[in-house]
Amino acid sequence: MPGFLLRAAFTVTLLTAGSGTAFAAGDPAAGKSVFQSTCSICHSVQPGQNKIGPTLSGVVGRKTGSVAGYTYSPQNQAANLTWDAATLDKYLEAPRAMIPGTKMTYGGLKDAQKRADLIAYLATLK
């Protein structure tokens, strides 16, 4: 039952505060699969475990460039963004378009549903 409740919590439409921009409902279980096939080569979900990229544990609600022990690009450090659903969606679609000079070499996740699923999964990583 807890898994069902968690999935139900993330199947509601996500809205960004004050923007009115709606996102597709995300499925955390599908997002975990997206993470494992697309992101896990460079990112860990374990707190304090940085790889090529910073840990994604606790990423939702965190400021850009703020993981201790990870060396960010100056552009990422200066971005001064908070990783919420809207910011993650835009970044994951085209990282270098959103933060030119980022160290993230990934070209972007173009499938909106996969991005929504991934964001729903990332939101479970506290």
Secondary structure class of 82 (helix, strand, coil): strand
Domain count of the fold of the chain = 1
Secondary structure class of 92 (helix, strand, coil): helix
Q: Tell which residue, 107, 61, 110, has the closest CA to residue 87.
A: 61
Question: Are residues 115 and 109 in contact, defined by beta-carbon separation less than 8 angstroms?
Answer: yes
Residue 21 lies in a domain: no
Residue 55 lies in a domain: yes
What's the CATH code of the domain at 45?
1.10.760.10
Domain region containing 110 = 2-14+26-122
Q: How far apart are CA 124 and CA 98, in angstroms?
A: 24
Print pLDDT tens along the chain (126 aa).
444 334 434 433 333 333 334 456 899 999 999 999 999 999 999 999 999 999 999 999 999 999 999 999 999 999 999 999 999 999 999 999 999 999 999 999 999 999 999 999 999 998
